[in-house]
């Protein structure tokens, strides 16, 4: 990892002080977030570039591939730098390309966490999000399972993804919520209530797809989009993703110029 600076400053997430600008690994897979990337060597180089440039917050999920992104992270970066935060997500099944279905049954969440541990090559997950709330299973039961895994030492911190303020409060009655990850960008511009809810409660807010799922490509557009999100509060930590080795440096320039 180069230097001691962190892109866009730092933020404490899940017990680690990490770069506010993180990196999402969803686009490291094949088309439709399915299967292996077209160029595995390029994906591995990209992960090295991200970390070498000072980004210390990686976001992934069991469902990316499925399993592909976690495998790539281990191949590229294990043994991991101590300062690196790897957040993953469980609670989603992928029966086919472009198909995503929440599944929050306790036995499935438990089995998936065990698989994530093996794929990433760790004894404990730094941060494990509930990928989506399964409407067929009570939310306290879903986060309760993750809380049990936390007590067993298999998860260090528990997060939530794509949730509303009332769901954060429901989950918080069961387990301490370490981070909330929702979609927020110029294309999906309004999650004000959740951003503020997290600020008041001291919960890091992690916008995914902050560049509109790759719709923004011009440097000035990137700069405006990222600075808008960072300006929402010191608790906001975007996780843009890319499949281009050159793109991380463009993102870093967009937050430092």
Helices (H) and strands (E) in the chain, counts: 8, 11
The ranges of the chain with pLDDT < 50 are: 2-3
**Could you say which of 64, 80, 205, 208 is catalytic?**
64
In degrees, to the nearest 5, what angle opens at C-alpha 172 toward C-alphas 177 and 118? 45
Positive or negative, the CA dihedral 48, 53, 54, 60 is: negative
Render pLDDT for 86-130 as a digit per residue (tens, 0 to 9).
999 999 999 999 999 999 999 999 999 999 999 999 999 999 999
- 107 contacts: CB under 8 Å, gap ≥ 6: none
pLDDT number for residue 136: 99
Contact assessment for residue 44 and residue 51, using Cβ atoms and an 8 Å cutoff: no
The predicted pLDDT at position 5 comes to 62
Domains of the chain: 10-256 (3.20.20.100)
User: Which pTM does this prediction carry?
Assistant: 0.94
pLDDT attached to residue 222: 79
Burial code (b: 16+ CB inside 10 Å, e: under 16) for 127-139 equals bbbbbbbbeebeb
Of 244, 241, 245, the C-alpha closest to 21 is 241
Known catalytic residue at 64: yes
Q: What is the pLDDT of residue 218?
A: 61
| pLDDT at residue 196, as a whole number | 98
Structure tokens at 163: 């949730």
């Amino acid at each position: 990892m180069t230097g001691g600076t962190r892109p866009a400053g730092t933020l404490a997430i899940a017990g680690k002080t990490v770069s506010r600008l993180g990196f999402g690994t969803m686009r490291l897979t094949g088309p439709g977030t399915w299967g292996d990337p077209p160029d595995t060597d390029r994906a591995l180089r990209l992960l090295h570039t991200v970390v070498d440039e000072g980004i210390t917050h990686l976001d992934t999920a069991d469902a990316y591939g499925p399993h592909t992104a976690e495998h790539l992270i281990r191949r590229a970066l294990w043994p991991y730098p101590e300062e690196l935060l790897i957040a993953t997500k469980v609670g989603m099944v992928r029966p086919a390309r472009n198909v995503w279905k929440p599944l929050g049954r306790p036995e499935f969440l438990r089995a998936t966490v065990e698989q994530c541990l093996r794929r990433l090559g760790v004894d404990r997950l730094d941060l494990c999000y509930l990928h989506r709330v399964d409407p067929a299973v009570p939310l306290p039961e879903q986060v309760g399972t993750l809380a049990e895994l936390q007590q067993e030492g298999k998860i260090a911190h528990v997060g939530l993804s794509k949730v509303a303020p009332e769901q954060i409060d429901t989950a918080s009655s069961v387990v301490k919520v370490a981070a909330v990850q929702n979609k927020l960008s110029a294309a999906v511009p309004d999650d004000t209530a959740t951003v503020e809810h997290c600020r008041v409660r001291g919960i890091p807010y992690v916008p995914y797809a902050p560049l509109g799922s790759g719709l923004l490509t011009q440097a000035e557009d990137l700069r405006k989009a990222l600075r808008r999100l960072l300006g929402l509060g010191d608790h906001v930590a975007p996780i843009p993703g890319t499949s281009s080795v050159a793109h991380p440096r463009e993102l870093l320039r967009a937050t430092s110029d």
